[in-house]
Every structure is written in C-alpha cells, then in structure tokens.
Structure 1
Amino acid sequence: MSDPLIALVLLGVMLLCLGAGLWVAISLGAVAFVAMTAFSNAPSGLVLATTFWGHSHSWALTALPLFILMGEILLRSRLSQDMFSGLAPWLTRAPGRLLHVNVFGCAIFAAVSGSSAATAATIGRMSVPELTKRGYPESLIIGTLAGSATLGLLIPPSIILIVYGVATEQSIGRLFIAGILPGLMLISLFAGYVGLRAWMNPDLIPEEVRQFSFREKLSASKNLIPVALLIIGVIGSIYTGLASPTDAAALGVVLSVILAWASGSFSIKLFGEALMSATRTSCMIAFILLGAAYLSVAMGFTGLPRNLAEWIGGMGLSVTALLVALTLFFIVLGCFLDGISVVVLTTSIIMPMISAVGIDPLWFGIYLVIVVEMSQITPPVGFNLFVIQSMTKFDILKIAMAAFPFFLLLLLGVALISIFPGIVTVLPELMSN
C-alpha cells in the first residue's frame, strides 16, 4: 500500500475515533495499534508495554503537574483582585483606559500560571463585572479577555512549551527563554489595538471619574508585590541557572501557597480542591502524552514520517510555502482539538518535515504555540470561549466574534516571527553565549 493511502487510512481511523467521542489519548493509541498491526511486522502489544513504561517517568515532565498546581492555587486566591487594584490607577489616562487591565493582567498572570484557561478565569472573574459596571463596551471587554488570555500558552512558565519540549526533546529552559520576546510582542500588539480603537472612536470608552495622584499610584502598586515576587522566584531562578524548570515549579507551588495563605483568602479546603483539579488535569495530559508516544513509535515502524518528509523535500516547497500550509492545517485542527492535543498529535509527523527544510526546532516550538493560541479563541472547541461563556452567559458566537480581531493579531504575530526569526532566537543565543 502506498504511503499516501496509508496516511489516509490512519487519518480515517483517527477521525472515526474522535467522532465517536473517544478520549484523545485512546484515539491516539487506537491509530498507533492499527498502524503497528496493519502496516508493520513489529509486535504491537510488546511495543505498547515498553513505550508506556519508558515514557511514564520523565524528570522534565515533573514540572508539568507542579505548574498546574501552582495555577490552581492562584486561581482560588485574591490575586486577581489585587492585580486589578494595583494596575487600574496607572491606566486611567491611557488610550482605552481600564481595558488594558485585561491585557496586562493576563500577561502578568500568564507568567505565574502557564495556563490559558486559568488566566481567562482568574482575570475575567474580577475584570468582567468591574468593567461592565463602569460602562465599557461588552465586545471589547470579552474580546480583550479572550485574546489576552491566550498569552498563558506562551509566556513562561508555559505548560504547552513543556509538552512540546518533552515530545521533541528540546530544552525546556531554552524554550521558556525563547518565549519572552514573542510574548512581549503580542502584549504590544494587543495593547496597541485597544489604544487604536479608543483613538478612532473615543465615545466607546467611558470617562474615569476619579484621577489618582502619583503617590496614590505608588501606594496601589503594593498590591502587585506578591505576584512580582512569585514571578521573580519562579522565572528568575530558571533564567539565572539557579534551578531547573522542575525545581522552579516546586518553588512556585511553595510560594503560591504562602502568598495565597497570607492574603487571607485561602484554606485547607481550597487547597484540597486545587490539588484534586491539578491531579485530574495532569493525569489527562499524561495519558495523552503516553498515547502520542505510542503513536510516534508506531509511525517510526511504518516509516511514514520519513517517507512523507522525503516526499515534501522532493516537492521543492520553500520554507514560506510550508509554513503557510502548516498554519492553515493547525488552524483547522485547532477548531476541533485543544492545544495540547494538537501538539502531541502532530509532532511525530511534522518534525521530520521541519528538519528536512532546515527550520530550527526551537523557533518552530514558539511558532506552533502562537498558532495553537488561535485555537483557544476559535469555535467550536475554543477553551477560552467556554471559560468566558461560563462567566458571562453570552452566546459562544458573540464571544468568538469579539475575539476575532485578536485572532488576526495572533496571525500577524506569526507573520512577524517568520519575517524576523530573531524575535525568537536572539535571547536563547545570548543566554548560551
């Protein structure tokens, strides 16, 4: 059977499993089993056992449940209220005024949570009712929240960058460093869009009755000290080489518990809820990664990725043409799968193609995360859309339309890092020198 026909058969099995409502991990395993049984002579059961055993313990992957637990703890603390009261006085004169609280608040929380959904829930819990009460337009409130919350996937410590690093054997620390400048670029694009909308139509933005003196602004900034300490403790320890991502994640859990307890809004009961929620999420991701590992091994036995890479190499596609095709592919795939599933589902097949055309795997990881960010705000499976819908009770299509400008800004971000790849690579190169 020819390679394109094998690929179509395996794709059909995958779509059948997903359409039947099977878990992503089981779907991945089913495709791998069919590939091993039908298109190779390897013992599928033995390979399944050895793959699961070999990939069930990874020191690098230990950071994943710890960062998830840190985000769950912060989600149940007063962090969002403190961030709003600390940021708001500085933004009353900015174009767009308090809409920037969504942008900068999401950026700050992304630096301590690593999760897009947790970022949307934490910041939205405070900002949506407050901005609505002050008369800001609903479309801009939910649009800035949905779009800016995607920063949780990119700004370190990013859960999805950990997954990509483990799946492709890339340095998680270097991936974290590579995500800094692209994250700042997206923050600038989002804030610039808000300012431009306010400048073009000043009537959209209500006047702020109260103005703050410089002393009052400084006093309000005290509320940002806890989250600043957490960011410095977690991210600073990684960048200075004092701790590995796993060690920094453990430090982050300890600091988040201390800060949440000190705020007076935390309890043993809430810690138990955070622990159970983090356990469920971590187990889901680990199960998906095991299924993806089995699929990767199965693809190796069939020789399909290598042959597809050679086929694409023989087509003479330019790097630009390949990236355009992959971007469209990931956008469509992201409409039906969550970001982590997209990454683990595609890396075993995509990476040989990337290597064949000479694309830096480190750069590709950041590119992939930005494209996956788009899937967080695209129906029907946009996690940020569901989180915001649960808070606002708005129609999902209304939220998606409000977030559409930020989808286009993310697309612009992909174009910028493609034209200027140094945005991604310059910091890792400087840190290695």
Structure 2
Amino acid sequence: MEIRKGISSVVLIVIVCLSALFSFASRAQTLSYAYVHNFPNSFSQADIDTIDLYSIDLLKTASSSIPLEAKHALEHEPREPQVLFNLIRDDKNEQDYYWVSPLFAFDCEVGMTCTPNAGGPSASIAVSYIAIDKTKVSFEYAERLSELVGQYKSTSEFSTQAQEIKDSLKKSFPSAEVTHGIISFAGRLHADANDLWIIADIVPLFSERGERGELKGIAADLVQDVLDKMALSQEILSAPWERIAKESMSKSNVLVFSIIRTDERDEVFHWITPVSRNMHGLYGINKPYFDSFDEVPRTYRVGTLLADYRYDVAISKGFRVKAYDSWQALVTALINNEIDTVFGSQGAIEFGCNPNQFKCETITLTSKYDTSTAYLALSKKDTCVLVLEKLKLAAAEVKMSEKFNERLSSWSDMVSQEYGIAHHTERGVVHLWNPN
C-alpha cells in the first residue's frame, strides 16, 4: 500500500539519559536540555523557578515509562539533540526546531518576540514550547515525545498537575487558565476550528470512496473520530494531490491527509499525527540485491507513478525513468520487461500484482531507499497555531481510545485476509511491512 509523500538567558544545561527510549533504539540514548527564559519583565525569579520545575516535571511524567536520570552539567555536543523548555515559537525560529508541545502563553509586551497566528488576528500572544533542535537524529525523539506529551495532556493527572501550578502562581497571575493543554497568563485562548476545510488524498484502503460516495478507510476513520472529538461537523472532501498542494499553500485552515512528511513540506504544513509508515526501494525480478541505493547500476530502467516524488528522486540519481498511472500498470511493465525495477514499496507491489496471473513472490527488493511517514497535516498559511494544538490533543485522545483501536484491529485483519498485504500496527500507526 502506498501513500503520497536566537536562544537567550539559558540558565541551566544538564544531560538526560533516555535508556531504551524508543523501539528503534537498542542502545542507551542521551538528550541534553536547557531552560530558555524569554519571559516578560514582570515575571519574578520565583515565578520562573516554578515554571521551570513544572516544565521538566511535565516531560518526566509524560514519559514515565522511559528511565530518566539527571546528571551533572556537561558541555553540549553539537551533534546531540537538545530539548529546550519554554522557547517562544516565532516566525524566525519556526523552521529551526521540532515543536513538541506548548507550555505557557502570555501577553507579548513591547520589544518581545511574539508567536504569529496565536489567539486570533488581533491578539499579541507569545507561546512557549518544549522544542528540540533539528539534527540528523532528533526527529524520532521529537515525534515520540510529542506523542507522549499529547497523550499525557489528555489525562486527569495532567489536569491536576496544571491546577497545582495555577494555584502556586495565583498571586502573580490571578487570571491564569488552562486551555488546549496550555497554561495561559493572557486569559482564555481562542482556537476557532469551525472553518476547517478537510481534504483527503484518495488512497486505497486508507481513504477511498464507497459505493454511496462516502469516504471510508482507516485514515478517514481516524480523521472522522478527531472531528467528532472536537464537535466539528465538516464534510471530508477528496481531491488529487496537486489540488491539495495548491490549496494548502494558498489558504489557511486546510486539514489534509495522508501526506508524506518531507523537509520541503515543513514550510507548508503543520504535522498533527502520523497515519502510516512505508519502506521504499527498488523492486525487480531476478535482480541482485544492493546494500546501498547508490550502488544500483544507472543503466537500470526505473518505473514510478506519475506525479510522484520518487520520479524526481530517480531522475536526480541518474536512472532512466518511465512513469505510469497506477501500480497495476507499473507491475505489468516490470513483468513485461519494459522496466528493470519499480520504485515503490512492498505494499505497492502486492497491491499492483495479480497472484492469479503471476508469481508475485518473485518480485523482490533490489535496494532500500528510505522510510516515509504519512500524516494528518494542517496548512500553515495564516492558520492559528492554537488550532494545531487543539487538533494534536484530539488526535492523541483518539489514538488512545478503545473505539479507534478496535476499528484499527478489525481493519488490519481485513487487510491481511482479503488482500494479503504485509503490515503491522504500532501505537495507532500502520507500518506497511512485516515486523520481522
């Protein structure tokens, strides 16, 4: 199956060891973290100390299944990911960090950095975050921590913790409120999601039209549950990827799925929650296996889908490339020796190959390229960042719900029995390859 694709006032740096942090890590991992203090002058040192303690306690509690051990201050290694607490999100640093979860919001005073599109067009609000600087190894940390914090913010335990911090800061901030998992010193935060425009990219089994025109599939089910959680009644529309891309670049509040996350698309989309992951590579018949993609002979004729990012990748790598309009056409071209390899995934091969007409198991991986993740995403242009956070919290709740997980399990059984597509699920995300 295929889915289209200035820090100031840092007062403390310590090293945090995260042993056995994620399923992808078999050895001990480390993250350094620092507190960033860009608060208004009205904040006392006692207030800042309380805020710092709350911030680290929130992360530790949210990731309680992960052993955390604070060590003495050490010099931060540039290649190591670094967690920053209470970094204000602004238009200058937007692309420099992975924004894990918001912590506090406050009125943006003269001379301060403000967060664009926070609280409405006339609001001047600064929102501070748990953030992770972008390095080659920090993305998976950021994604996992974002997931854990989002889940924790959906619990009564978080509500109790947030209420306690509100009470301890009552003298300085008597009007503090908790909205969308954020402690706001600027009054109630507004995140109007009523004008969301929801568009799906049609993908078999994930989001496709039924006999009566209704959108069905596990991705569509996830999004509908998110809308229900937020008490929204918008219809889920569908459109080709080209139309989705155009609308997302030019309009605010466009909610789209399922879209492959890439560095280039970071400027266009906010990423809400992953839907599926896919391992991509070249697949051929009776072809040798190459450990590196760069070792594959450039004389190979490579087939891709029309208007697919892999077409550009194959061209840039120097292959002879031909594009087709469906996976069935691609696999047929491979069988007929019109091309030497298909640039896709195991799920795409299985979807495009008819086992009644060909021994599909003879089509094997020639060389691995990468693993991609498809997301539920929100257009960035003029979109209120608080709407993003509201959607992320709703998605975290849905993925923890018994209703969605039962539906995911039934969908997985159906995909295995009726289509024989290799896959497994982890934490509400479909991985389109066998686990072992």
TM-score range, shorter chain: under 0.3
TM-score, normalised by the number of residues in structure 1: 0.25
Larger relative contact order (C-alpha < 8 A, sep ≥ 6)? 1
More strand by share: 2
TM-score, normalised by the number of residues in structure 2: 0.25
Greater Rg over alpha carbons, structure = 2
